[in-house]
Amino acid sequence: MVTLSVTRSRVAAVLNGAEALLQTEGWDPLHNPVILAIDRAAGFVPGKSSMDAEETTLAAWQMLADHIGAASVSGWEREAGRTQLQVLAAVRQAAKAVAS
């Protein structure tokens, strides 16, 4: 459950935006990881963004981590054999879970 002041619909929109970015640009765990796509989808730039953008990013990261059952999204996406289809599906499913 999202406990920050950010709405569930906003978190879902960020996750959907991150999925779209990864689908368009291609996912790469080292050069275009999920976390950077989430940051960009939320409009978060470290040191320059609003608290809302940062809270939204943190909530989206947490919802994705909860969905995949991992302590770290980065660790999960770097597991050997992880595919772009698996990553996109996980982000999409997390967005649906947040929205419902």
Quote the percentage of the chain above a pLDDT of 70: 95
Tell me, what DSSP letter sits at residue 3?
-
Average pLDDT, the chain: 91
Whether 29 is covered by a domain: the verdict is yes
Total residues belonging to the chain: 100
pTM of the model: 0.90
Residue 32 β-bridge partners: 28
Q: What is the pLDDT of residue 50?
A: 79
Number of domains in the chain: 1
Phi and psi dihedrals of 99, rounded to 5?
Answer: -75, -20
Q: What is the pLDDT of residue 1?
A: 43
Whether 1 is covered by a domain: the verdict is no
Instruction: Please identify which residue in the block is written with the tokens 């599906």.
Output: 89
Whether 58 is covered by a domain: the verdict is yes
Please state the rounded mean pLDDT for residues 10-18: 96
Whether 34 is covered by a domain: the verdict is yes
Q: 71 is in which domain, residue-wise?
A: 8-99
Q: Give residue-wise pLDDT tens across range 33-74.
A: 999 999 999 999 888 877 888 899 999 999 999 999 999 999
